Every structure is written in structure tokens, then in C-alpha cells.
Amino acid sequence: EAKRLGRNTIVCYTSDFHQQAHYRLMLASRLHRALENEEFSLQYQPQICLATGRVIGVEALLRWECPDLAPVSATEFIPILEETGLIVPVGTWVLQQACCQAVAWQRAGMVSLRLSVNISALQFQRGDLAETVRQILAESGLDPALLCLELTESMLMIDTAHAQQKLQELRDLGVSLSLDDFGTGYSSLAYLSRLPVQELKVDRSFIHRLHTTPSDTAVVNTIIAMAQELGLELIAEGVETEEQKQHLLARGCTTIQGFLFSRSLAPEKFAEFIDQGLSDGG
């Protein structure tokens, strides 16, 4: 088979690989200065309660605008922040920025929304995340009950006993914990039931294939049933169609997030979105 594909295929692949590696190195060097150059910003995506149609929460999502590059997506630059360790200081900045924004919105009279912030494995493993969060809550004045940290299964599996303790320290601050991209990892039900998390977030890949791949429909239905059994909140991300929404509603999923309602928005746009009464479901 390799012979039939011929030499060019391999040459092509190799140069492609080198180009990619070169591009990533270039991004990494740009990212080293991005924080001090104030090239990062946050966008906010609403989370909607299916029963009432109201916005009940918001997820902060990191954006990077490098003056001499075309826009680079989060899925592309965040892995590089993780590989280089830059995600630790950048992640702290994200927490500070998002908490201050949430407090500013409250002071401006906006209805209190729960704020979800993504935490990377490195932030969780290294340093003292609980102490960082405690300080940021104190400095910003945000009610801990309004902060939700989004973690992923894989980062909790590495050292279970230690992870449990770290999670409990975070819980003791009064913040809530969510398992992001749920369904893509290998968590067992027994393991999950012991974690002090309050919410599961169904990965958007399952929602995307909800009506095209029967096995994904089964996965989504099972996760919804499981969340109900374990008494966990459930949020479906990446909801793009009315058909997906109706399926989730019928199965008893409580909250959704996705382009059907809104993309992520710059802070001013997000405030307008809430003001326009879209939070009342109309």
C-alpha cells in the first residue's frame, strides 16, 4: 500500500509536518509576550435554562489577537500555552479578568449570572489553585457561589487521592465544579460518584452527531440519565439546532449552551444581549 501511494505522499507529509512544527514554534514565541502586550481578551457565551428560556450563566472564553498574525483559534493556541507552561499565569489572568467583569456587571445592575471559567490541567496540578482562587475572589468581591470552575476528566484521573483533596479545597471556598467535555474521557461511574463535582458538561462532539449517529444519541441519553441518578446538574454544549434542543428538553437536560442561542460575545455585546431581554426567552 505504501509503495502504491508513492514517494510524493511521504515527501508531502514530511514538509507539512515541518511547516506545522515551525508554525507552532512561531506561535509559542509570540505567546510569550502576549500577556504583557495585553493581546488577550475574554468573550462570554450565555448558558440557557431550557425550562424557562432564561440566561442563567456565562462561560468565559479566552481570545488572542496578535497584531501581526491572522486570528488564531483557542483550540490552536491553548494547547501551546499548556505545553509551554504559560497557561498558569494566563489562567490566573483569565480568572481575575472574568471575576472582575462579573462584579462590574452586577454593579451595573445586571441580573446575577453564574460565571464559568476553564481551568487547565497544569493550573490544577501545579501551584496552589485554591489559594489563587481564594485571593481572586477576595480581591474582586465576587460571591464564591457564583463561580464555577470547569475541569476535565483526564486531569482528575492522574492522581486520584490527591485530586480529590484539591477538589475539596476548591469546594470549601464555596465555588462549584463542573466536568467539561464529559464523555470523551474514561471515568467510571463509581469514580464519578465520589468526585465533589456538581455539574457535567456533555461534550459538543456528541451533541453535534446527536441525530446522525445512533451511538452518540445513546451516549447523550445515558449521560442525561446518569446525571439525574447522581443528582448532578447537566449542561449540553455546542447546541446548534432546534432539533438538538428539543431532544435534550424531552430527555430532561436542564441547561444548554451553543450557537442556537448565541456565540461567545465581547463584554459590551454580552451586556446588550442580556439587556435586550433575550434572557426572557424572547
- Does 266 contact ligand C2E by CB under 6 A? no
Residue 118 is a binding residue for Mg ion (CB under 5 A):
yes
User: Cell numbers at residue 55, please?
Assistant: 440566561
Cell of 40: 488577550
Which of Mg ion, ligand C2E, none does residue 240 bind to, with CB < 5 to 8 Å depending on kind?
A: ligand C2E
Segment near ligand C2E (CB under 6 A); pick from 10-18, 22-30, 70-78, 156-164: 70-78
Please state the separation of Cα 240 from the chain's center in Å: 17
Residue ranges in 105-134 that form contacts with ligand C2E under rule CB under 6 A: 118-120
Q: How far is CA 31 from CA 26, 28, 90, 136, 269, in A?
A: 9, 5, 10, 24, 26
- In eight-state DSSP terms, residue 258 is S
Q: Of 73, 188, 212, 215, which lies in the binding site for ligand C2E, with binding defined by CB under 6 A?
A: 73
The smaller minimum CB distance to ligand C2E, of residues 56 and 74, is found at 74
Quick one: 180 or 199, whose CB is closer to Mg ion? 180
Strand partners, 45: 59
Which residue of 48, 58, 180, 192 would you call a contact of ligand C2E, by CB under 6 A?
Answer: 180
Whether the CB-CB separation of 253 and 218 falls below 8 Å is answered with no
Q: Which does 259 bind (CB under 5 to 8 A by kind): Mg ion, ligand C2E, none?
A: ligand C2E
Report the alpha-carbon distance of residue 214 to residue 201 in Å, rounded: 20
Closest distance to Mg ion from the beta carbon of 201 (Å): 5
Nearer to Mg ion, 88 or 119 (CB): 119
Q: Report the residue number, 240 or 281, with the smaller CB distance to Mg ion.
A: 240
Contact indicator for 220, 202 with CB cutoff of 8 Å:
yes
- Residue with smaller CB distance to ligand C2E, 148 or 274: 148
Helix boundaries (H) for 173-213 = 189-194, 204-208
Residues from 229 through 268 that contact Mg ion (CB under 5 A) = 237
Q: Which is nearer to ligand C2E, 137 or 256 (CB)?
A: 256
Candidate list 91, 146, 149, 180; residue touching Mg ion; CB under 5 A: 180
Q: 110: which DSSP letter?
A: P
As a whole number of angstroms, the distance between CA 93 and CA 184 comes to: 28
Minimum distance of ligand C2E from residue 57's CB (angstroms)? 13
The amino acid at residue 119 is I
Task: Specify the DSSP element, H or E, that contains 282.
Answer: none
- CA–CA distance, 10 with 156 (Å, rounded to integer): 38
Longest dimension (CA), the chain: 68
Which 134-153 residues touch Mg ion, going by CB under 5 A? Answer: 150
Question: Shortest distance, CB of residue 23 to ligand C2E, whole angstroms?
Answer: 18
DSSP string, 129-170: HHHHHHHHHHHHT--GGGEEEEEEHHHHHTTHHHHHHHHHHH
Asked if 181 is part of the footprint of Mg ion (rule: CB under 5 A), the reply reads yes
Nearest to 180 by CA among 217, 147, 153, 220: 153
Q: Which residue is nearest to ligand C2E (CB)?
A: 258
Residues that bind ligand C2E (CB under 6 A): 45, 61-62, 73-75, 78, 87, 91, 94, 118-120, 150, 180-181, 204, 237-240, 257-259, 264
